Amino acid sequence: METNVPEESGNGRGLVKKCWDALLQNTYLAAILSAVALGVTAGLILKFYIQISEHDKQYVGFPGEILMEMLQLVTVPLLLTNMITGASGLDAHRVTTGRAAAYFLSTTLMSLTIGIALMMVFKPGSAHAVEGEDPEDDEPFFNVDSLMDIIRNMAPKCLIQACFRKHETDRLEYEVESDEWNSSLDMNVTEVRLSVKYVDGANILGLIVWALIFRIIFNRIGKDGKVLVEVFHALNEATKIIVDMILSFLPVGVLFLTTSHVVEFDNVDTIFQIGNFMALVFIGLIIHSTIVLPVTYFLCTRRNPYGVIKEIFPALKMALFSSSSVKTLPLTIQCCESRLMIDKSVTQYMLPIGTNINMDGTALYEVAAAIFITQINNIHLKIGQLIAIALTSGVCSIGSSGIPATGGMTTMFVLMTDGLPAKEATILVVAEWLLDRCNTVVNVLGNCIGVAIVHQVSKGQLGEMEQGPPTPWVIDDEELSLDMIHAEFNPEELAEDEEDMFNALEYQES
């Protein structure tokens, strides 16, 4: 007993030290979570113990309103520059570029489709919408007018105007009364007239379409086009620096936004709605990772996909604990090369690019979160708005490892860019913190499956691709570099004559 007490106390101190070290390494995240907790506490105090007027409630939410305005400033520049520069690492002259691009695009679309389907079928945010009557609910989800709006928005008159205005068709109903001079009208009838007008909100369809067009043109121009791409790279980095400066104010903004939301909060069902939302997102991630990606691998290679998942398990485990695809990248490359025996010209080309632009889990979460917030606000989405949300979520997932968005900030970007209310996105800060680890696992798995597919279908053509630098190996989840292997391999001890010595040295250099 005497020996166990200090051991247990030592383990306790070690656990406390580990928690403290983790807290210091994630100070910013801890500040945001603390702001949420303080905001909930302050909101409950103001709501139940200090009766404040409607006028005073505006003062409570003012700092959060300033944060929203500052974020609104950079949403469109960040979206456009991220779209133009997101796939800049793809080399059009490589054999695998087309296959990699097709895989990245198809899996992202499938993840977006899963997120949209789950949110639109189960509607986790619409539980309280039955009490209120939304006049838009009578309008059809899809009609010819919505399709015409989509086409109009894809061809804007002015790209500058498209940053803050978009087309929308209103159906106006007029009641035509019968009169004695018009015998054809025996009774009062309702006539529907269409009114095409501009409304506030960024024209996401037009901006994304023309950003892609300009990106293709820049590639065709050649040397001058590369200069223009570098300009957009600089603009993208400058925009991210501005966003970093704005997000330094994020804990304060989240504190007041959460307080304001709790003060105005009258429906306890929202807590259960958030739980349902998290469950649906988790189900969507499971569907994408255990069904969609394995089936895609099997259809392309006719091989067992779960063998791939087994071999990359160390990388998936690190992704779960680190919640960062970038931090997991070295181990991901090692697992693919040493365990799956994938050519390093494929891994070292595709994995860094895929880590930046192929974020299936993130895309699924963002589109689901945006639709969930619109459901909480009792907003009936039309087909055009749904497509815009999906495109914005997909674009925000491209390069999302470089977008300085924490908590619900990426969801705010999506909603504000589409002209939808984004204040309630702060309630998803804790949910995103919990789900982000699962998103990262799906992101890493999607990249590994893609690398395995491209390696299998590109056999025989890999000689046309350049070989990359040596990569450390992984054996039993432990790193073993080539330098260590060379140190243990001594040609002088193994060679019996000069010819063997020469062959051994030549093999070592290769």
The answer, yes or no, to whether residue 510 has pLDDT greater than 60, is no
Q: Which residues pair with 191 in a beta bridge?
A: 174
Task: Determine the pLDDT at residue 444.
Answer: 94
Provide, rounded to the nearest whole percent, the portion of the chain with pLDDT above 70.
73
The answer, yes or no, to whether residue 253 has pLDDT greater than 50, is yes
Instruction: Output the 3-class SS for 112-125.
Output: HHHHHHHHHHHCCC
Asked if residue 488 and residue 402 are part of one domain, the reply reads: no
At 362-398, the pLDDT tens digits run 999 999 999 999 998 888 888 888 888 898 888 877 7
Provide the 8-state DSSP code for 497. Answer: S
**What is the pLDDT averaged over residues 170-175?**
69
Task: Determine the pLDDT at residue 115.
Answer: 95
Asked if residue 334 and residue 483 are part of one domain, the reply reads: no
Task: Determine the pLDDT at residue 219.
Answer: 80
Residue 384, token pair as written in the block: 């055009």
Asked if residue 293 and residue 381 are part of one domain, the reply reads: yes
pLDDT band at 469 (very low <50, low <70, confident <90, very high): very low
Which one is predicted more confidently, 454 or 142?
454
**What is the pLDDT averaged over residues 29-47?**
86
CA distance 153 to 130: 32
The answer, yes or no, to whether residue 185 has pLDDT greater than 60, is no
pLDDT band at 282 (very low <50, low <70, confident <90, very high): very high
Asked if residue 233 and residue 379 are part of one domain, the reply reads: yes
The answer, yes or no, to whether residue 493 has pLDDT greater than 50, is no
Task: Determine the pLDDT at residue 122.
Answer: 93
Name the range with the highest mean pLDDT among 92-101, 297-306, 337-346: 297-306
The answer, yes or no, to whether residue 143 has pLDDT greater than 80, is no
Average confidence score pLDDT of the chain: 77
Q: How many angstroms separate the first and last alpha carbons of the chain?
A: 59
The answer, yes or no, to whether residue 462 has pLDDT greater than 90, is no
In one-letter notation, the amino acid at residue 211 is A
Task: Determine the pLDDT at residue 199.
Answer: 80
Asked if residue 494 and residue 350 are part of one domain, the reply reads: no
Q: Is residue 452 part of a domain?
A: yes
Task: Determine the pLDDT at residue 21.
Answer: 62
Asked if residue 375 and residue 484 are part of one domain, the reply reads: no
Name the range with the highest mean pLDDT among 257-271, 275-289, 343-357, 450-464: 275-289
Domain count, the chain: 2
**What is the pLDDT averaged over residues 207-225?**
84
Asked if residue 332 and residue 205 are part of one domain, the reply reads: yes
**What is the pLDDT averaged over residues 136-159?**
73
Name the range with the highest mean pLDDT among 90-104, 154-168, 299-313: 299-313
Which one is predicted more confidently, 215 or 487?
215
Report the CATH number that the domain containing residue 452 is assigned in CATH: 1.10.3860
Q: Is residue 170 part of a domain?
A: no
pLDDT band at 286 (very low <50, low <70, confident <90, very high): very high
Asked if residue 482 and residue 454 are part of one domain, the reply reads: no
Task: Determine the pLDDT at residue 468.
Answer: 42
Which one is predicted more confidently, 280 or 434?
280
Number of Cα atoms under 13 Å in the Cβ half of residue 328: 31
Q: Is residue 76 part of a domain?
A: yes
Identify the weakest region by mean pLDDT among 132-141, 292-301, 328-337: 132-141
Task: Determine the pLDDT at residue 182.
Answer: 53
**Of all helices (H) and strands (E), which one includes residue 481?**
none
Asked if residue 328 and residue 238 are part of one domain, the reply reads: yes
Residue 167: phi and psi, rounded to 5, are -75, 145
Which one is predicted more confidently, 277 or 183?
277
CA distance 293 to 266: 42
Task: Determine the pLDDT at residue 481.
Answer: 39
Asked if residue 424 and residue 357 are part of one domain, the reply reads: yes
Q: Is residue 417 part of a domain?
A: yes
Task: Determine the pLDDT at residue 483.
Answer: 42
Contact 353, 88 (CB under 8 A): no
CA distance 87 to 492: 48
The answer, yes or no, to whether residue 288 has pLDDT greater than 90, is yes
Q: Is residue 196 part of a domain?
A: no
**What is the pLDDT averaged over residues 456-462?**
77
Q: Is residue 393 part of a domain?
A: yes
The answer, yes or no, to whether residue 212 has pLDDT greater than 50, is yes
Which one is predicted more confidently, 489 or 302?
302
Q: Is residue 501 part of a domain?
A: yes
Burial of 190 (0-12, 13-18, 19+ CB in 10 A): exposed
**Of all helices (H) and strands (E), which one includes residue 480?**
strand 478-480
pLDDT band at 142 (very low <50, low <70, confident <90, very high): low
Contact 288, 442 (CB under 8 A): yes
**What is the pLDDT averaged over residues 135-150?**
64
Asked if residue 266 and residue 287 are part of one domain, the reply reads: yes
Task: Determine the pLDDT at residue 357.
Answer: 84
pLDDT band at 301 (very low <50, low <70, confident <90, very high): very high
Range of the domain at 484: 477-509
Task: Determine the pLDDT at residue 175.
Answer: 67
Task: Determine the pLDDT at residue 298.
Answer: 95
At 123-136, the pLDDT tens digits run 998 854 444 444 44
Q: Is residue 390 part of a domain?
A: yes
Task: Determine the pLDDT at residue 367.
Answer: 93
pLDDT band at 315 (very low <50, low <70, confident <90, very high): very high
Which one is predicted more confidently, 171 or 437?
437
Q: Which residues, 6 or more positions from 86, have their beta carbon under 8 angstroms from its beta carbon?
A: 356, 357, 395, 398, 399
Asked if residue 491 and residue 409 are part of one domain, the reply reads: no
The answer, yes or no, to whether residue 316 has pLDDT greater than 80, is yes
Task: Determine the pLDDT at residue 391.
Answer: 87
